[in-house]
Chain A
Amino acid sequence: MNRTFKTDCIGYALFAILLLVVIPWAVSFDGFALNTYARYLALGMVAMALALSWGYAGILNLGQAVPFALGAYIMAMHLKLQASAHMPGGLPDFMGWTNVEALPWFWQPFHSLPVTLIAGIAVPVALAALLAVFMFRGRITGVFVAIITLAFLVAVQLVFIEEQRYTGGQNGLTGLAPLQLLGWRVDNYSTQFYYLVAVCLMTSLAIGLALVRSKVGLVLKAIREDASRVRFFGYDVARYETLAFCTSAAIAGWAGMLYVLVLEFASPTYMGVAFSLAIVIWCAVGGRESLVAAALGGIIVNLLEGRLSDMFVDGWTFFLGALFIVVVLVAPRGLFGLVQSAVRHAGKTIRSERGGARARWLATGMGARRIDNGGR
């Protein structure tokens, strides 16, 4: 495990430099640009969260947008209440329009910021745990997990749109107050705010790395390959899978809270099928086997989207569709896989120039390896 630890540290340090130094410097600390990048970072964070469950444990969660959107809505509920303080009964405007008389009980706790911050992570985790126990105790794997999470996603979105009185329906939650954090009025176009998001991403990444580099990550990788064999060594597979699923949900909820601060509204599109599958493709583009790469994938694809969709509106959708197909067909391991094989190839050339039977043995060994991503 030592060598991977070293590459991790290097990757993490480079990523930190990119986020904390290069990006702010490249946009010359322009508030508007930093806000855009803060958005990309939040999306990179949710892509990284998916890599945790998909890349390591092989759990393809097509409903990754659910914990993200829950985090987003919870933060938006708090900010909406702050913005509605002057309204009669402190009632949010859309509730007034739909004749809701009093603030419903599940809105009440979100007056408090600490409760909001905890709930933004705890609620997605609780829901994920429920779903995870339901699925993994029944030994549901592969394609079936994908379908269950997809159906769950659509159901949750329908509930949020249907319950317009409490959720703002199709419009979502808009007209939010700025966040008051320890006396600091968070300005989402400021350099400080960008750094807040960047630090959150780096922290969640460190947590994720600690998890996957411990033996837990190893057991998850083993489960991905052959779950029943892992059971015969005494590991409770369902419990490990649940942990990966829930940690992923926690980080996604966290990212969702940041996303609302960036965009200043929450919308049911955050839990749409299109958005949720987009998360999967970001993760796949970056490379699901590496958390840093997945986060980068989220940032890069969204950066591209930002640039390309300005130029041609329809073109972007074509590009996204094509990206899905091309990545799956040509580079299922994403940019990370491409870089890795390039590095290996370079290493191989150097070593075989030195000659020696050992180098040749290694090279053929590498050449012979095949990756099978079979789901069942």
Chain B
Amino acid sequence: MGHLELKNLSVQFGGLKAVNNLDLSVAQGELRCLLGPNGAGKSTTLDLICGKTAATSGQILFEGRDITGLSEHRRARLGIGRKFQTPSVFKELTVLENMEIARSQNPGILASGFVFRTHIRGRLKEVLELVELKDHVHTKAGNLSHGQTQWLEIAMLLIQDAKLILMDEPTAGMTIQETRRTGEIFNSLKGHHTMIVVEHDMTFVRQIAETVTVMELGALLAQGSIEEIENDPKVRAAYLGNEVANHA
């Protein structure tokens, strides 16, 4: 039994089946990379898991519990975190305030009503130091550089401490060094957190991947280690032939 199981999952927009009878099982503490050409349904799959999009049919099981019908905030409370493709931090809030929002172990109104200050200590201090934002805690997120914004979002994911982290192209727009450090952080999270990462950058995928799942036209195409995938003729035909040649 995996930590996250997708069973026969489908979603339809008008006539288009964006995800088509997808079966997927991710083990506890595993880092799974999701690959596939544009329009393969990778982002939609993440949307389905976190609740942004409702499934047309099929089932999503998280820790053995059926979460298919739950609203976004209920799934988040169960421990599913999400990073979006475009950096989505709160630009009007300061770095520290963003972190306070992300520190959402007690998301109820009553609990929030008695929180008046954010103490920079413990795990929060560690995370801020890790992403080198400790000197900018009072800077508005809108005034950060692009790289810093990406780091802030990763820091928010870390402090949210979700059991399952869904990431959509986390390294988009990062420099090579930043990408490598992101990879190191992800590797250190393996074992404690289950992660699903949608990524195009093959160097990065090689750095972090254990098992890779390839999707095409909303369905599962192949699954295995990075070597197996790269030698799979089906994948080559559908994907490696054009996409990886450009990226790797």
- Contact between A and B in the complex (any CB pair below 8 Å): yes
User: Chain A: residues with CB nearer than 8 A to chain B?
Assistant: 1-3, 5, 211, 213-216, 218-219, 221-222, 224-226, 228-237, 239-240, 243, 365-366, 368-371
Looking at chain A's contact residues, the main secondary structure is helix
Please name all residues of chain B whose beta carbon is closer than 8 Å to the beta carbon of A229 when the two chains form the complex.
84, 88, 90
Partner of B92, one of A2, A221, A240: A221
Is A235 in contact with B92, judged by CB distance below 8 angstroms? Answer: no
Decide if B181 is an interface residue (CB 8 Å cutoff): no
Please name all residues of chain A whose beta carbon is closer than 8 Å to the beta carbon of B71 when the two chains form the complex.
231
Partner of B142, one of A216, A232, A369: A369
Decide if B163 is an interface residue (CB 8 Å cutoff): no
Interface size class of B (residues with CB under 8 A): 35 or more
User: Chain B: residues with CB nearer than 8 A to chain A?
Assistant: 50, 52, 71-73, 76-77, 81-82, 84, 88, 90-93, 96-97, 100-102, 104, 107-109, 111-118, 138-140, 142-143, 160
- For residue B139, which residue of chain A has the nearest CB? A365
CA distance A130 to B91 in the complex (A): 32
The 3 A-B pairs at the shortest CB distance, nearest first, are namely A234-B76, A215-B115, A215-B112
Listed by A's residue number, 26 A-B pairs whose Cβ atoms lie within 8 Å are A1-B96, A1-B116, A2-B117, A5-B116, A214-B112, A214-B116, A215-B115, A218-B97, A218-B100, A219-B101, A219-B112, A221-B97, A222-B101, A225-B90, A225-B92, A229-B88, A230-B101, A232-B72, A233-B76, A234-B73, A234-B76, A236-B108, A239-B109, A365-B143, A366-B143, A368-B143
How many CB-defined contacts (below 8 Å) exist between A and B? 97
CA distance A77 to B12 in the complex (A): 57
CA distance A366 to B115 in the complex (A): 28
Is A232 in contact with B50, judged by CB distance below 8 angstroms? Answer: yes
Is A228 in contact with B101, judged by CB distance below 8 angstroms? Answer: no
Is B73 in contact with A222, judged by CB distance below 8 angstroms? Answer: no
Is B93 in contact with A235, judged by CB distance below 8 angstroms? Answer: no
Please name all residues of chain B whose beta carbon is closer than 8 Å to the beta carbon of A232 when the two chains form the complex.
50, 52, 72-73, 76, 81-82
Is B93 in contact with A233, judged by CB distance below 8 angstroms? Answer: no
- Closest CB of chain B to A311's CB: distance in Å? 41
CA distance A224 to B97 in the complex (A): 14
Please name all residues of chain A whose beta carbon is closer than 8 Å to the beta carbon of B111 when the two chains form the complex.
215
Is B112 in contact with A226, judged by CB distance below 8 angstroms? Answer: no
Please name all residues of chain A whose beta carbon is closer than 8 Å to the beta carbon of B140 when the two chains form the complex.
365, 369
Is A243 in contact with B109, judged by CB distance below 8 angstroms? Answer: yes
Is B73 in contact with A218, judged by CB distance below 8 angstroms? Answer: no
Given A1-B117, A214-B115, A233-B102 contact (CB < 8 Å):
yes
Please name all residues of chain B whose beta carbon is closer than 8 Å to the beta carbon of A224 when the two chains form the complex.
92
